[in-house]
Structure 1
Amino acid sequence: MKRVVVTGMGVVSACGTDIAGFWNTIVEGRSPAIPITRFNTEKFKTRFATQIPEFNAANYLDRNEIKRSDLYTQYALIAADQAIKDAGVDVSTMSPFDIGVIFGTAQGGMDTFEHQYREFAEKGYEPHFNPFFIPKTLVNMAAGLISIKHGFMGVNFSAASACASANTAIMDAFNYIKWGKAKIIITGGSDAPISEASIGGYNSLKALSTRNDDPTKAARPFDIERDGFVMGEGAGILVLEEYEHAKARGAHIYAEVGGAAMTSDAYHITATHPEGKGAIRAMHLAMEDAGVNTTDIGFVNAHATSTPVGDISEAKAIKSVFDGHDVMVSATKSVTGHLLGAAGAVEAIISVKVITDGIIPATINTTTIDPQIPQDLHIVTGESIDKKVNAALSNTFGFGGHNGVVVFKKI
């Protein structure tokens, strides 16, 4: 089996539209949550999100790219451009069939669907849909357009496992390279869910925080006063590469992808298993795949979204897996918000940065741990801490019972 490493990264989020700015926001623990400006929120229970402020796709993409792509795809294209440049990938120096794209999203082109159908409904006559309507809404289009733009002709598809989508894509990319099916794969996830349909829908599920008077303090994973997650948006991209190939071309290597695993809770359409059975199994399998033990893991990037039920089940699962080992746990969605299908990608980037920079970011806004959460679980709160980490584990869990776990190792 081939070894797989990370040679490039790119990000677009409210925390920053480049890796340096994004990481600084995470380390400093500054929530970018603001009142939503994309639509009138007067009738909504939740009126804020980690919305990318003053985003203008024209600053990054040409007119044709914008015309044929949904917002989620635009985020993906911008982050991919960063990551490909960071990795120094040049398709002219190798076979285009050795470079692929495997990408995740939870909702795809919902923004386009919502706006186009509203326009049709309001006009009240024979529909004249935009000719790009169908391509823009497809969940595979971010992967397709990344490959078209850069000439990558290898494996190309999208993964959809709700909020575990990015980790699913990363795992698939890892396995394709490990099995010798590709040299380089561009992977990650993107979502653009700050829309009336998404906010309204998640409000109906009672999944979102309604702390409208204090948005930056709304995401508070594991805290006794948590009341739901903060919606986020954006994209995260990692360039995964076969180790010997990366060495041969002199690429900068950030970290190794040690292992990955997926399981299903087979329990409920939205709730996680109360005993965390699927999560426990996925963490064990990912570490087994990576050839590491619990004592090798120095950091767990928790999925913890700030929902009343999900945080408890995950905390119990982590405690079950790492019982007897004082592993550091942080819930970085307290800063980023929940980027749905992009969550695993931005958290993978954070996990890699923890390994390369030796800094564990804090879970912000968490002051009183819920008594139902194991009190001896080492949740990093307050401020980020300096700590050498050789291996990190990143959790993602999605509606439908999808559990995706990835392990990163110091190279």
Structure 2
Amino acid sequence: MRLSNIQIPRGTQDILPGVVEKWQFIEKKAKEICGKFQYKEIRTPIFEQTELFQRSVGDTTDIVQKEMYTFEDRGGRSLTLRPEGTAAVVRSYAENKMYGQAVQPVKLYYFGPMFRYERPQAGRYRQFVQFGIEAIGSDDPSIDAEVISLAMELYRELGLKKLRLVINSLGDSSSRKAHRDALIAHFKPSIGEFCGDCQQRLETNPLRILDCKKDRDHELMKTAPSILDYLNDESRSYFEKVKKHLTDMQIDFVVDPTLVRGLDYYNHTAFEIMSEAEGFGAITTLCGGGRYNGLVQDVGGPDQPGIGFALSIERLLSALDAEGVELPHEEAVDCYIIALGDEAMDYSMPLLQQLRREGFSAEKDYMGRKMKAQFKAAERLHAQHVLIIGEDELEKGLAVIKDLQTGEQKDVPLENIVSFLKREG
């Protein structure tokens, strides 16, 4: 049966040549920066056991309740396409006993597609690509500052300037319990005025109410108890040290006591980086992260602290567009071979192979076009040199090589083509 009108699934995108080079540039830049900070790449499966995300991300979160792509395999096991990267990295850290490595903390980074069933909108997709880092094994406030600084450094290197770093402390377990009790007491008398999700969260996870998009303008949101008022001495001291490190590193930030992040595993430091570029859109968050002490233990490992962040490449590209930042995305061809006649066409194939093996980016015509059309093709590929071979040139043992930037052309013996191009650069 012939199929017709098959289109890409809603919430996904094709990344075509001419655009994919921008992605590659961002990935290369991120890997370079991770190398400077001594973070190593890790690659985890695209799907994991569903329980991993239920236990780590949290049963009360929108991600787990509404957005995960979950299915049963043929063995009846519940699997989920990963909606975020931290849980899988932490699972791998615990399963592979990376806590026993000589070099600590373990510093990791990842790239990969994530999947969430949410309403597609500008810069947000159901399949999206995240870049993230995780530093596991240290509870030193300076590693919090380093993680934040790495994200800021990537944005700076890519040319973004209109950024706003927002930080908060969610405190340790005792601080969060005191804050939780205060939130319940604050919202409970009027909880019937809130959406169904918030009503369910009141007893299970009242902190999530502060992150509600439907009720964010409710009067009680403005007067909700601040976590900063419930931090114990240890949590307050920790947060002050993080802020001092950022100040000493000349990284500007704003403290926002309403910042809670959308995942249950966060504690102590939480942060987001926003775009303030005009026309970027209503949802300004580019990057989010924080500390997740206890998560390693939750997924079956020892009690090891950790901190990380994740950012969407799609959102990053939107921010670059909003600020008018152009990324390099086209690589010029070193040499384009114009072959005229059957004999020259046959000769061009081994020559093309030789040039590529010598390290040149090389191309030729495959469409049987006339010389003028082949020149236009070379120009579209931004070729530095055009190499012309016809029957006359083959008889003389020569090729005509033209520099398309200067217009200068020379007759070069066929056996000297490679050495000539190497000299010309």
Q: TM-score range by the shorter chain?
A: under 0.3
Based on CA coordinates, which of the two structures has the bigger radius of gyration? 2
Higher helix fraction: Structure 1 or Structure 2? 2
- Structure of higher RCO (CA pairs closer than 8 Å, 6+ residues apart): 1
